[in-house]
Structure 1
């Protein structure tokens, strides 16, 4: 950490050039003898990456930015805010894999104290500096191995353990919990000896059912999406919990939040209604799909499904609160009649439970991408292939 970067003259240079290409700055000559052009470029690149993902950091003065990998791996403020709501006020927490400290800083706003653990000494110092700038004074930054730090603490000295195990081991991506570092499956007993609750962030690609077989005492699973992009999968464990966890699909979009909660048993027991598309068509948000709420979402919003495997929904009355995209249906065609009865020069195409891929459809029917028309190629309740033409609401 080069503290010279925080001096007024250097900060002024960064402010004046922060809209420019970091690559251009890196290739140019630094006006400062004790600050390299690469260091200046890293700060400018850091601001550009943070301004939307981490606006509190991006619009605060004298923030020190780490290398881009740390910014790519850290949580966004939107998802960190969700985690903040999971802990009670006045509690004690530890972040075992602290990184750039976004989650730690948000947890600290509810907690009495938060310990931020980070192996990289420079990054630990950066987080400590930024926390002070942001007024987060109850964050204790310790440069060291989070597991070793946890082992040194007294039993039951914490309320919450937060961990985001690395999914890249020896330069290769891993997808099983037991293959991540640290191996949280092997550390369950240690965690519960120190804390009542454990919050684990894992890859959105991880299979929820498989993870629940590996993790004990999970009381809640959170699937979080931002603008229809699945960002995080959180497993919330409570010491001594017995029963079926609640699964919550949380959709963040346009500064709004929608939440749909259910259990796996409720999903299995739900008997959906099936009907042909009429009036309005609904495409669920990625958080709903990842959570597996295929029947629960239909029940919650009084919708009919088009087919058991299509995961598209319909209703004659508009449900504006649906967690996903809503479309007004303009026409429903048998797929076999598409070329003979109707031509679409330009349209947005989606396939659900359909034998052809989007690119094959575009090529065969000469339909360009874009425009205001949305075409859903799918299967109806009678197992017939259909095309649903819509307009986005």
Structure 2
């Protein structure tokens, strides 16, 4: 439930820090049950805080530390703090326009790099909370307006922004959408007007969006950044420039806690030369694969890619700061049921980690057929080479 404007003044004066301290061992359901006969309009919002604060520290530590207000939808859709800070680090300037303010995490990050941030959101109740949060965070250079992107852009204006940012609502009528014209707002419908107000536009998109679709749909697309955490792809960032012509650069970035981001940039194709002595096996991070930089990254690291569809590398040395997982390669052999069964028995492999890349059998089928438990220190990789040969690679993960 969202707070109505009639209780906005109560929220502003409410001591959320004391409430959270006093109820730190109380869950939302218990709190509502205890206050079942209480008609205080604030109770539903307070219950939401209890539910969200139990999990928000890792995602938004600065907001939690300053006892900011959340709503369930805005929290779910918000950027994580690390991601927001990374985005903001790419830009600086005088004025930024955020067409999709939401909880304001990106506004908060961008406000540290721009003199003024103008942020839009049609949700008046959410905006009341966000303005309170900005005061708690001591951010006085963010202006939150109760408008949709379309309502703002239709107004005659000669104001110029150094950057326009959009993280469109992709869940319309409880359905997730991955096309640029199916979000709210419809970016393709407002793109021309956006370029009248700024020479640069940054889009945050779902990691499920196909990169080839973006290249075909956005002729002004100058750069795609695939952003991930330690294990998975989290989001796509698309930078559009008004005067850009040609193919976009693609960059893969892995954000790690308390460490500099790992970054690799290149084009989406490359020719790979073979490596004769292969003693290590490598699995690139999902951001490299999503960015279409697998072959380019292999060449950059002086590694051999097993096949275009396998996304596995082999090499004689371990590259420094490799973006992905590295393994000591113990054995590689052509797959057959009898060969694998013999290898398992000879090496007493009853518990292994299994990964398949471009391989017909599922992990579940392999485990069932060969009676292999999950876990342990050994890793088996199943893949198919370009000539159709099915292969098995046995490795031990490097620390």
Q: One fold, TM greater than 0.5?
A: yes
- Matched length: 386
Instruction: Assess, with a 3 A threshold, how the Cα gap between structure 1 residues 219 and 236 changes in structure 2: closer, same or farther.
Output: same
Q: Distance in 2 between matches of 1:24 and 1:373?
A: 46
- Verify the 8 A CA contact 1:19 1:48 in the aligned structure 2: no
Tell me the residue number matched to 2:365: 360
Instruction: Assess, with a 3 A threshold, how the Cα gap between structure 1 residues 44 and 368 changes in structure 2: closer, same or farther.
Output: same
Question: In structure 1, which of residues 180, 184, 191 is the aligned counterpart of residue 183 of structure 2?
Answer: 180
* Post-superposition CA distance 1:55-85 (Å, at most 9, x none): 1111224x1222x121111100111112102
Q: Distance in 2 between matches of 1:328 and 1:51?
A: 37
Instruction: Assess, with a 3 A threshold, how the Cα gap between structure 1 residues 345 and 20 changes in structure 2: closer, same or farther.
Output: farther
Question: In structure 2, which of residues 35, 38, 52 is the aligned counterpart of residue 29 of structure 1?
Answer: 35
Q: Distance in 2 between matches of 1:168 and 1:208?
A: 20
Give, in angstroms, the shift of residue 153 of structure 1: 5.3
Give, in angstroms, the shift of residue 155 of structure 1: 3.1
Give, in angstroms, the shift of residue 48 of structure 1: 2.2
Instruction: Assess, with a 3 A threshold, how the Cα gap between structure 1 residues 276 and 124 changes in structure 2: closer, same or farther.
Output: farther
Tell me the residue number matched to 1:11: 17
Tell me the residue number matched to 1:119: 122
Q: Distance in 2 between matches of 1:209 and 1:10?
A: 47
Give, in angstroms, the shift of residue 315 of structure 1: 1.1
Structural mapping, 1:142-221, within 5 Å: 142-152=145-155, 154-221=157-224
* Post-superposition CA distance 1:270-295 (Å, at most 9, x none): 21124588311111111111100021
Question: In structure 2, which of residues 244, 251, 269 is the aligned counterpart of residue 248 of structure 1?
Answer: 251
Q: Distance in 1 between matches of 2:392 and 2:372?
A: 14
Give, in angstroms, the shift of residue 103 of structure 1: 0.6
Instruction: Assess, with a 3 A threshold, how the Cα gap between structure 1 residues 173 and 305 changes in structure 2: closer, same or farther.
Output: same
Give, in angstroms, the shift of residue 9 of structure 1: 5.7
Q: Distance in 2 between matches of 1:85 and 1:111?
A: 11
Structural mapping, 1:42-53, within 5 Å: 42-53=48-59
Q: Distance in 2 between matches of 1:26 and 1:369?
A: 42
Tell me the residue number matched to 1:330: 330
Question: In structure 2, which of residues 128, 133, 141 is the aligned counterpart of residue 130 of structure 1?
Answer: 133
- 341-350 or 10-19, which moves further after superposition? 10-19
Tell me the residue number matched to 1:342: 344
Q: Report the secondary structure of 1:342's partner residue.
A: helix
Tell me the residue number matched to 1:102: 105
Tell me the residue number matched to 1:81: 85
Tell me the residue number matched to 2:377: 372
1:58 aligns with 2:61: no
Q: Report the secondary structure of 1:177's partner residue.
A: coil
Q: Report the secondary structure of 1:112's partner residue.
A: strand
Instruction: Assess, with a 3 A threshold, how the Cα gap between structure 1 residues 229 and 71 changes in structure 2: closer, same or farther.
Output: same
Give, in angstroms, the shift of residue 54 of structure 1: 0.5
- 359-368 or 22-31, which moves further after superposition? 22-31
- Verify the 8 A CA contact 1:95 1:116 in the aligned structure 2: yes
- Verify the 8 A CA contact 2:97 2:117 in the aligned structure 1: yes
